[in-house]
Structure formats: C-alpha cells, structure tokens
Amino acid sequence: MADTLLGKAVSIRALWKSYGPQTVLHGLDLEVAAGEFCTLLGASGSGKTTMLKVIAGFEEADSGRIDIDGRDIARVPVAKRNIGMVFQNYALFPHMSVRKNIAFGLEMRGLSSAEIAKRTGEAMELVELTAFADRVPGALSGGQQQRVALARALVINPDILLMDEPLGALDKNLRQSIQLQIKALHRELGVTIIYVTHDQEEALHLSDRIVVMDKGRIAQNGSPQELYRRPASPFVAGFLGECNFLGSGSDLWAVRPEALRPGPAGAGQRQVDAVVESVIFLGSVTKIVARAGERQITSVVGSGLIDRAPAAGSPLPFHADERDVLAWPA
C-alpha cells in the first residue's frame, strides 16, 4: 500500500427499500465527497445499517441509483463493486493466520504471489501487526482482530470503505484508541469512508460529515459543528448531544448545557429561573442539575469559574446568550 489511496465520490439518488409492507428507506439522497469520512448516525431501526447493506450490495434496493465515481453500481454484484467492508463481529477466518486473512481478498482477485506478499506486508505494517503475521485470530485481542479486519478491507485498494458499528464490541478505552487509529489511517490514505454508528460521541470524533437518520429518512446532513450548533429540529438537537428544551408552543427553544450559565441574564441574554437539585464535580467541569417548573435542566460550567457551589434546594437563575439559543418553528 505504498501508493496513497484516492477515495471515490459517492452519489445516492432516490433510494427506496422495503421489506414486505414495511418501507425502511424513503427515497434517500446523499452526496459523499471523494476522501470524506461520512457517518450514518441513528438509533436502532433508523435505516442506517440497511442503507450500508444496500451500498455494499448485500441487499438490493427497490429503486434508485448508487453512483461511485459516476458509475451506477445499484445492480452490480457484490464481488464487482470494489468496496471494502468492516463488520462489528470482524468476520475473520478463524483457521487462517493474520497474513492469510489479509491476503484473502487479493487471492480471490487472482493477483500474483509476489504482489500479494508485497501488499499484504504493507497492510500489516500500516496497522502495526507485522509481528503477529502468523497468529490466528483466536490468539489476538479484540483490538488486534479489529485491525486485521481493517487491513483486510484496505488491502484491496477499495473505492470506498464501509464500516458497520466496527467498534461496538470493544470496551471504552480500547474503542477510543482504535478511533484514533482509524482517524489517522483515513488522513494518511484518503479513502472514502461511510461509517455506521449509534454512538454520537464516536460520530463527532471521527466524521467530516454526519447524516442523522430517523425512521428511514435523513433528519439532517452536515458537518459535526453544523449539526451540533445549528440542529435543524428538536429531534437532531436531542439526539446529537445533551440539550435543555425550555420553550413550548410557538416559543420552541433550547440551549446546550455548556451555554447555560448560572446567574441573572444581562443584555442580549435569556433567563431561566430554577431550583438547584444537585451539583456534580467532574474535575475540569462542574454539572449543575436544576428544576425549572416541570423541566429538569443541566448547566455545565468550568470548575475554576465557580467560587462556591450552590446548595441543593436553593433558587438560582441561569442565562444563555441569544446567539447560543436554538429555536424552531412550532
């Protein structure tokens, strides 16, 4: 893998998919730029994994186009799509060594032994597994197995790389470590990645673009910063990060916990009067949980900015700058 991979652009148009009477993808449109890291984010049943399977060719769309670099692959067999795939359960061959697992896709393509050895060696070096080349998957840790799966997907020089909840089986610390490796590899190789997760923190960490899905539709599509700071709906605001919903009726507004600060409002600010329920010290930040009428609200403040923590049961006003207020039509 000495040459840098050049990821291909993906264009999805009017993609529909049903299982019997149940429609799971409702005419989806999506553009993914060449070399972009795009995450499909949603709860179980939102359609994100079905969409990935349709792109991969494991499921056939009822209608619509899937163009990779201008070529419609919607009816192209899986083996001819030149797509790399990484699954949550790794799907490694248990009786094969690391080297053999990674080389498998190249052997299926009929490459020469010399080319297979060269590219397999480069792929193992890329994911830092050269020392484990002759071990079988059962002798590896979960993180090492995931890196084998990643190398196997990358070694074929795919036009795009699809990843379906690839870190879901790992513990938190290992998951964060592999996230850093995936991000570094993406930067180095420039491959186009479409990644499925239900983990909002993972999506924010990894992505150039996040596609929030809900019931087979795209609720919003944009950069992590855009979706977090300017969510298009209360659903997106609540799904991507914590959010205080404070308005009602025609005055539907919300504010993120880090933008809601203790103290009375000044010019260009909104005020919320509340009663403190609990104060939680988290090291660099302190979380204040309070009750504003029937609503529970949360404020997150730098611990160094609080001289004395408010007592539970005490009244306390909070304020937010108008520029930080999220608002939508009723």
- Tell me, what's the pLDDT at 237? 95
Say whether both 167 and 265 belong to one domain: no
Average pLDDT over residues 13-27: 96
Percent of the chain with pLDDT strictly greater than 90: 77
Annotate 166-197 with b (16+ C-beta within 10 A) or e (fewer).
bbeebeeeebeebbebbeebbeebebbbbbbb
Average pLDDT over residues 57-75: 94
- On the question of pLDDT at 4 being above 60, the answer is no
Average pLDDT, whole number, for the chain?
A: 92
Domain closes at, from 234, 266, 294: 234
Write out the DSSP string of 289-301.
Answer: EEEETTEEEEEEE
- pLDDT tens digits, 92-118: 999 999 999 999 999 988 999 999 999
Residue 252 located in a structural domain: no
Residue 1 located in a structural domain: no
Say whether both 168 and 30 belong to one domain: yes
- Tell me, what's the pLDDT at 65? 96
Domain closes at, from 234, 265, 298: 234
Of 153, 326, 146, residue with least CA distance to 246: 326
Domain that holds residue 94: 10-234
Residue 249 located in a structural domain: no
Residue 242 located in a structural domain: no
Say whether both 229 and 262 belong to one domain: no
- On the question of pLDDT at 1 being above 60, the answer is no
Average pLDDT over residues 22-26: 97
Residue 74 located in a structural domain: yes
Say whether both 144 and 110 belong to one domain: yes
Say whether both 152 and 201 belong to one domain: yes
- Tell me, what's the pLDDT at 174? 80
Both tokens of residue 212?
Answer: 């929030």
- Tell me, what's the pLDDT at 284? 92
- Tell me, what's the pLDDT at 294? 92
For residue 258, count CB atoms less than 10 angstroms from its CB and return exposed for 0-12, middle for 13-18, buried for 19 or more.
middle
CA distance 86 to 322: 43
- On the question of pLDDT at 260 being above 50, the answer is yes
- pLDDT tens digits, 153-200: 999 989 999 999 888 777 788 888 888 888 988 998 899 999 999 999
Residue 248 located in a structural domain: no
Say whether both 227 and 129 belong to one domain: yes
Is the pTM value of this prediction over 0.95? Answer: no
Domain with 285 in it: what CATH number? 2.40.50.100
- Tell me, what's the pLDDT at 2? 44
Pairing of strands 252-255, 326-328: antiparallel
Residue 5 located in a structural domain: no
- The H-or-E segment that residue 288 falls in is strand 285-292
Say whether both 79 and 195 belong to one domain: yes
Q: Name the DSSP letter for residue 131.
A: G
- Tell me, what's the pLDDT at 194? 97
Domain with 74 in it: what CATH number? 3.40.50.300
- pLDDT tens digits, 288-310: 999 999 999 999 999 888 878 88
Both tokens of residue 18?
Answer: 């049903």
Say whether both 179 and 277 belong to one domain: no
Say whether both 229 and 278 belong to one domain: no
Say whether both 228 and 276 belong to one domain: no
Say whether both 211 and 285 belong to one domain: no
- Tell me, what's the pLDDT at 307? 78
Residue 262 located in a structural domain: yes
Of 234, 228, 237, 233, residue with least CA distance to 209: 228
Of 85, 26, 37, residue with least CA distance to 57: 85
CA distance 238 to 292: 18
Of 151, 239, 166, residue with least CA distance to 206: 166
Say whether both 217 and 70 belong to one domain: yes
Domain count, the chain: 2
